[in-house]
Structure 1
Amino acid sequence: MTCYDRRDLGLLLLRLGTGGVLVAHGAQKLFGWFGGGGIEGTGLAMEAMGYTPGKASATAAGLAEAGGGTLLALGLATPAAGAAAAGAMVGASAVHAPSGFFAQSGGYEYAASLALTAAGLAVTGPGRISLDHALGHAVNRSWMVPAALAVTGAVTAVVVGARNRRVRQAAQDDQESLFEE
């Protein structure tokens, strides 16, 4: 009989809780479940937030959340799963940042917390109560952590940077149109 320690149980709880929340959010985007908009509605919302093209952005965010969340909950491919989920949540944080920190004011607190938890799980690993452990860590090698975080960080920086430029340009265009009237 295997005896698990507190760390393994704690990591399991973090993975299940964080993964479950991420899966639910991804399912809203991909399938319209839990009151979500599905690809069509989320795509329109993504366009309004400055993420273009909208449907592709909705699909990418939904897959990163649902896929990353599922893999985190299972403890499988933990570096890639955590990095993907963290990247999606950084993208969400960028949208909420103008509203400040606290979620009650529409801020980025919630998205940032999910991003940090997912990244933390990518770094620490899933613990012994996981598929990664059962499979001999074939897709959870030490070198995968910095690789997954670096690739996700670079892609996220490009995507969020492009979004922020579009949002700034739209605000500038709105200002200019006010002066023209």
Structure 2
Amino acid sequence: MTCYDRRDLGLLLLRLGTGGVLTAHGSQKLFGWFGGGGIAGTGQFMDSIGYAPGKVSATAAGLAETGGGLLLALGLATPAAGAAAAGAMAGAAAVHAPNGFFNQEGGFEYAASLGLTAAGLAVTGAGRLSLDHLLGHAADRSWMVPAAFAATAAATAVAVGARGRRLRKAREGQQGVLFE
């Protein structure tokens, strides 16, 4: 008989809570569930905040949140799941950063909390109450942690960097109009 300790229970609770929230948010983007805009509505929003093309950005964010969240909740492929979710939250944090830290002011607090929790789970692992453990950690090898974070960091840097360039161009264009 296997005995689980409180760390395993704690990791399960973190995975279920964080994974559930991420899955719900991603489902808003992908399917329009829970009052979300679906791909079309979220795509329009993504375009409006500089993540273009909007539908591609909505799909990528939705898949990272829904897929990453589901996999975190199950404790399956935890390094990739946590890194993907953390990358999506880094993209969200970039949108909210100009508003400061606190969520009540529109800041990045919420996105940062979800992203850091997902990243922590990716590094720590899912624990013994997980599919990773049940499957002998076939999708949770030690080398997967740095590989997943490197891939996610590169993709996030490209997406956030491109958004920043679009926003700067838009501001420069507006300034040009103001001074003509």
Which category describes the TM-score, using the shorter chain as reference length? over 0.9
Alignment of 1:64 with 2:64, yes or no, is: yes
Q: What's the counterpart of residue 6 of structure 2?
A: 6
- Following TM superposition, the consecutive aligned residue runs of length 4 or more in structure 1 with deviations greater than 2 angstroms are none
- Which secondary structure does the structure 2 equivalent of 1:142 belong to? coil
The residue type paired with residue 78 of structure 1 is T
Cα deviation digits, residues 93-119 of structure 1 (max 9, x gap): 000011011100000010011110000
TM-score relative to the length of structure 1: 0.98
What is the CA distance between 1:160 and its match in structure 2? Answer: 0.4
Q: What's the counterpart of residue 81 of structure 1?
A: 81
Q: CA RMSD in A?
A: 0.6
The residue type paired with residue 7 of structure 2 is R
Report sequence identity in percent: 79
Q: Distance in 1 between matches of 2:66 and 2:79?
A: 15
Q: Distance in 2 between matches of 1:89 and 1:169?
A: 24
Q: What's the counterpart of residue 117 of structure 2?
A: 117
Cα deviation digits, residues 37-69 of structure 1 (max 9, x gap): 000000000000100110010000000000000
Q: What's the counterpart of residue 28 of structure 2?
A: 28
TM-score relative to the length of structure 2: 0.99
Q: What's the counterpart of residue 44 of structure 1?
A: 44
Q: Distance in 1 between matches of 2:18 and 2:7?
A: 16
Structure 2 stretches lacking a partner, 5+ long: none
The residue type paired with residue 120 of structure 2 is G
Q: Distance in 1 between matches of 2:7 and 2:165?
A: 43
Cα deviation digits, residues 142-167 of structure 1 (max 9, x gap): 00000000110011011101101111
Q: Distance in 2 between matches of 1:148 and 1:88?
A: 13
Cα deviation digits, residues 23-42 of structure 1 (max 9, x gap): 00000000001110000000
The residue type paired with residue 52 of structure 1 is A
Structure 1 stretches lacking a partner, 5+ long: none
How many matched pairs? 180
